[in-house]
Amino acid sequence: MSKLLSQPSLVEDKVTIEKEVSVIAARNQKGEIRCYPLVEMEFTPNANLVDELICPSSVSIEQSEKAIAYASDIIELLNMEGLLAVEFFIDSNGGVLVNEMAPRPHNSGHHTIESIITSQFEQHLRAILNLPLGSTKLKLPSVMINILGEEGHEGPVMYEGLMESMAIEGVKIHLYGKKITKPFRKMGHVTILSSTLECAKKKAEQVKQLIRVKAWTKN
C-alpha cells in the first residue's frame, strides 16, 4: 500500500451499502436549527443520478434520529447560516456513515415545495436573513422522481406525457426551462403526494411510464 500512495492517506474499510439517505439541516445566525425528515434515495444504475426519492424513509427510527443528530452537529460545528444537505450511507450492519455534503438547497429537498409545511427554499431565505425557522413537519407522504433526458436524444427538447401525468391526482410537475436535452440531463422533477406512501409509489411508477424527454426533430 505504501508504494501505491505517495502522500499520507486515509484508507477506509470496504462496507456493504444497503441504503442511501439524506437530511437537510437549516441554521440561522441566532443558532436555531431545524432538520427536515430523512429521505431515502434510489439511483439509476447507469447514470448514478437520483431516480426516486421517498419520504418518509424506510430506515429505523434509531437510524433516522442518528442521521438527523449528525446533520445538526455538523451545521453547528461549521457555524453555517443557511442550508446544509448531508447524504449518508446505511451499511449492512445498520451503521450510519456520512457520504457527502452540499451547503445549499439540494435535489433531495425538492419535494419540500409541496410535502413539507416550509419548503427548503423558503427555509433558506429565513436562515440567511436570520428570521425564525419554519416548521419542517411532513404534510403528506411523497415520492419525487427526476425528469431526465433519454439516451440517444440530444437537441431541442420535446416532452411527452405531461398532460396525462397532470391528470393524476397529487402529481406536481416542475420543468427547469432548459431548451436542450442530453442523455441523463436533469430537465425537471415530479413530486407525487398521496395519503399513503404505497399509493404515492404506485402513482410515481405511472408517471415514469408516461413522461418522456426527447429531442425534437423535423418530420
Q: For each of the chain's 219 residues, which pLDDT tens digit applies?
A: 666 677 777 788 889 999 999 999 999 999 999 999 999 999 987 777 888 999 999 999 999 999 999 999 999 999 999 999 999 999 999 999 999 999 999 999 999 999 999 999 999 999 999 999 999 999 999 999 999 999 999 999 999 999 999 999 999 999 999 999 999 999 999 999 999 999 999 999 999 999 999 999 876
Query: Topology of 140-219 in CATH?
Result: D-amino Acid Aminotransferase; Chain A, domain 1 (3.30.470)
172-202 per-residue burial string, b: 16 or more CB within 10 A, e: under 16:
bbeeeeeeebbebbbbbbbbbbbeebebbee
As a residue count, the chain comes to: 219
Map grid coordinates 420535446 to a residue. 158
Return the pLDDT at 96.
98
Closest CA to 59 of 43, 40, 72: 40
Return the pLDDT at 129.
99
147 exposed, middle or buried (CB, 10 Å; 0-12, 13-18, 19+)? Answer: buried
CATH code for the structural domain at 16-47+55-139? 3.30.470.20
Q: Rounded to an integer, what distance in angstroms lies between the CA atom of residue 155 and that of residue 77?
A: 45
Residue 69: half-sphere exposure toward Cβ, Cα within 13 Å: 8
Closest CA to 17 of 75, 59, 49: 59
Cell matching residue 92: 449492512
For the chain, domain boundaries: 16-47+55-139, 140-219
- DSSP type of residue 204: H
Q: In 3-state terms, what secondary structure has residue 191?
A: strand
Return the pLDDT at 1.
60
Closest CA to 109 of 125, 85, 78, 88: 85
Cell matching residue 172: 406536481
Return the pLDDT at 45.
77
**Fold match flag (16-47+55-139 vs 140-219):** yes
Does the reported pTM lie above 0.75? yes
Q: Rounded to an integer, what distance in angstroms lies between the CA atom of residue 205 and that of residue 66?
A: 31
Q: What would you report as the CA-atom Rg of the chain, rounded to the nearest whole angstrom?
A: 19
| β partners of residue 15 | none
